[in-house]
Structure 1
Amino acid sequence: MTLALLHTSPVHVPVFDALRDAGHPDLALRHFVDEGLLDRAGATGPEAVTGDVEALLAAAVDEGATAVLCTCSTIGGVAESAGAGLGVPVLRVDRPMAAAAARVERVTVIAAVAATLAPTLALLAEEADRAGRRAARVCTVLVDGAWECFEAGDRDGYLDLVAAAADAVTDSEVIVLAQASMADAATRTVTRIPVLSSPRPGLDAAAAVAMAGSPGRADHR
């Protein structure tokens, strides 16, 4: 079975390949990267890239994908909606993370891109509703300078800024790293507050769906 991954940066390719090798060695991955998607979504709103996402999803299916995982939190909701008629499941990488965060009452969301915040907050509220819980009290932190480091290729600077932002959080039961690119910052923190990231649980969920070869697009939310 083949899982297609829709990325907005090539840096995610080796990350998800390594996670596949460690946990799902029998799963074939096919990567689709469009670096302009996030910029366009940030400038005009995620819905503005719906057509581009639809084209990428269709290409993934044409190449044999049995499921698709969108690894960008900003356009994850667009991907889920755009995939409704594809005939294969389309998942967003941050949904399992959001489901875990929805179990508590005080959440801090850390992001490096402002456009990521609204989709992440909406997802947290949706998961709380699905769990029959009251929506969490959510604080948001937009990390100054972090995205500039990421775009400049300064991975250590990026992760250090994200980790410092997480360590500064005090009144929260869980910290959500909103973007997949932030995942390794969790290993650089000293906070005692649980820090959640999306790549591993997101890939685990998508791998289960892809390996099952589910016909049609079921509701995997």
Structure 2
Amino acid sequence: MRFPVRRIFCIGRNFAEHAKEMGASVDRGNPVFFSKPADAVVADGGAVAYPPATRDLHHEVELVAALGRDADGVVAAEDAAALVFGYAVGLDLTRRDLQSAAKAKGLPWDTGKGFDASAPVGALLPAADFGAPGARRIALEVNGELRQQATLDTMVFSVAEVLHELSKLYALKAGDLVFMGTPAGVAALQRGDRFEARIDDLPPLCGLIA
């Protein structure tokens, strides 16, 4: 299913164990958001070129919500589900060395997060068919080895809460993709690696680092 992407938003530190492995803490009063360019999307099955200027490309498997309606200002958490057109499995690819260097200097993460082909996304499943994310399993394998695994009910902010918080900062509109954060277990990818990202009941996201 093709989806006209308008913008890509991401939330960081939305799984406590991932925040911990990154040396950070979770603050429910201060969610961490960042963005990627819309053309960073790579369709399921496509080869992903190893990006320049890094020696430490990391995988981060995530639930992605695709918005099909515009928000009318700040959206209440109880109304947020109505904005979601569908869900997909995504990868927030990260140049960890560049991100870490930027964080150490108190600088934005753009070079570490918002590069070409940094947002592989699987096929969308309509929200009406998927239902609430609930406690579905999210997992990532690289070359058949399990790297990341959790359940979606362990997210610090639920999908509805993420959309509520985002709508305080941005005008959310149809075409926006929202990456919902990654569980613990992030690690490096190398050229030739094959990845398979899964969330229960969603089409898997598979690809090759070229």
Q: Greater Rg, structure 1 or structure 2?
A: 1
Q: Which has the higher strand share?
A: 2
- With structure 2 as the length reference, what TM-score do the two structures score? 0.25
- With structure 1 as the length reference, what TM-score do the two structures score? 0.24
